[in-house]
Every structure is written in structure tokens, then in C-alpha cells.
Structure 1
Amino acid sequence: MLNMFSLRGLPWVSSSDGQEKVELTATELESLRSELADLEDREAHLKAQLEHVDEILRSARLSGYLYIRTRWKPLPGEPPPIDDTDVDDWLPRFIVLHGSCIFFYLLSTDLSPQDSTVLSDVVEVASLPSITRENGEMQYCFYILTRHGLRIECSSISKIQVYSWLSALQTDCKLDYEPSTPNGSSENNCQICTWVKKTEIR
């Protein structure tokens, strides 16, 4: 067991029979016990993280890393928001669609989410035009709008991943499909796919 620790720092002495042994003071022994306890705690934490990831992969409807940013829909009478499309404030998050909620984790190994959104609060889901990040990387985008006006914009380099999220959210949130074409776009351009909860739109 002692070989697992920093043996160079331990006081080795030779006994009368030629065997080497370690002599520790009470303080050194307590420090060694504390180090053992820390290792056991870390092992337990890592085990809990692995079990959590395994549970997500087995039971979640959908999960994966996406870049996200949040915006608020202006209230009636408020001026339209400033166009900040080019602002690169996307943050990577591990998103989990499980049960009746969308959970937002900083990392897939985190035991608790940073935030969550109830699916019953989602009134609109739609694709967005693709963007080019500052590093030149192309990303496909969509957004989730809640009844409270919170707009969660999500992006990924994978078009298939974005389609999977749109399809899953459309089904789980029970939204109706409404094809629409962006302003200034011709019918030959890609449509923006929109799903809305019509009973919630004022």
C-alpha cells in the first residue's frame, strides 16, 4: 500500500536484520491517513460520475453536447432587440432530454444540472440559419422558446444532431408544424422549419 504514495519523501531506515522499514511520526501518520481518505473520496466521486453518465445514456430520450446561448423575447410595446447575430457568445453545454424536462449540464460528468426547462413551457421550436463561428467553423442552429419569453438558441457542427433534437422536441412538446420562409428568401432557399404550440400563441 505504501508504494502507492510518494515513497521518496518517507523516512526509510534499515533494521538490525537488514530489512528496510518506514518510521513515521504521529503527524506524518495522520497526514498519510488523510491522503488515503482523500483518495477514497475521489474514487467514490468518480464512481458516482460514471454511474450518472451510464444512467443518462441508458434512460435519456436524447443527450449530447451543444453550444447554447440565451435571449429574451421582447414584451409587447418594447422595441425590437438589437441584432446581435454576429456576437459569438456561444457556450458548450451537455444537454439531456429526459422525461418531461430538458436539463443543461456544464459537463456530462456533472451530477447536477445547472438549469432545466419543463417541456410543457415550450411553445415554439424552430431551425435557424447556419452560422460561421470566429474560428471559421460552420454550425447548424435551432432555438427553443418558452411561454415566459426565454429563447434558448442551440448550435452544432452536426446537421444530423440538430435534426434529431428538432424531431425529438417537436414530438415530446406536442408542437404543430408550420413551414415558413425567412424574410427576403426565395422559395428555392431552404425553409426554416418551425413547430409551435398554437394554443399558446397570442
Structure 2
Amino acid sequence: MKQLQLFLAFFRVGILGYGGGPSSIPLVHKEVVDKYKWMTDDEFADVLALGNTLPGPIATKMAGYIGYRVAGIVGMINATLSTILPTILLMIVLLTTISSIKDYPWVQGMTAAVVPVVGVMLATLTWDFLKNSKKSLGWMKSIILVFVSILLLEFLGLHPAILIGVLLLAAIVMKDKGREKDRKVERGNAS
């Protein structure tokens, strides 16, 4: 049953993720977190952050990891193949016909309409992540982190993988410092 659910979830992502990897992320979130509840929002955010630091298409990386987590090696293969299968089939079909219809206004309009739709989907997902970060960091720290990230990425040209890597390391260091602080408190209470 899990294999069928994995196949259907990631096949839907593959068939509906028109516009590339970023447009697939909200679809993966909908399937994995909302529909099948294989992950929480925080776990999904962690997978997304890690997936963005690694090379290759984000949808297949996420499918591979989530498939592995849900159903082992076979689940990983199943989820990855079901993500890329629609693209492979559609590429074969579309590439044979697209050259003859690419100049039609409705084809150009359809292509142009994808950009704002993907933008809205990503904005919705970003808002969900921002609301979740409020729970752990609070509004002030979250907003400061957003503005510093925008400054580093857009104005200073920092690569997103470097920013994500630094933030992951900072989170690990802060978590270790928090554990050490808890141990000192426990030792103080024990004496």
C-alpha cells in the first residue's frame, strides 16, 4: 500500500509540477505533509534546506529521500522514478509536436502564465515556513533572518547553498551550546 501511495504522490508531483523544480516543492509539501502525513512541516523544511545545498534537481532529491524514509530502498527508487516518469513521457510527446505549435498565441500565453502561478505557490509555502519559524524563533528573529538572507543573497550575491550551510552549522552549534547549558544546570541542581 505504501508503495502505491508513494507512486501516486510523486507521480502527481511529476505530472503537475509544470515549470521546473521550484514549482514542484509546494506540490511535494501538499502530498507529503498534508495528505499522507509522512513528515511534519519542520521535517519538510529540513529536507528542503538540505536538498537545496546538494547538486541536482530538487524534486528528485526530495523524492529519493522521502521515498527512502517511507519505504526503504524500494520506496526511494519508486518515488524517484514516479517523479521523473511524467517528465520523460511528456518531453518525448511535446518535443515531437512543440516545434510546430510554439508560435501560437495560446502556447505563448500558457508558458507566460506559469511564472506568476509558480510565484504564488512559492509565496504561499514561504509564508507557511515563516509562520512556523515564528514558533521557534519569534517574529523579530524570523524577520531579521529574512532581511539578512535577502541582503546576502540578492545584494551581495551569496550562493544560497553557502547561506543554508552556515545556518545549519549555526543551528548545530547553538543546539550543542544549549545542551551544555542544560547539563550545567542539571549538575548545579544535583549538588
Determine which structure has the larger helix proportion and give its number. 2
Determine which structure has the larger strand proportion and give its number. 1
TM-score, length basis structure 1: 0.23
Structure showing greater radius of gyration is 1
TM-score, length basis structure 2: 0.24
> 1 or 2 for the larger relative contact order (CA 8 Å, sep ≥6)?
2
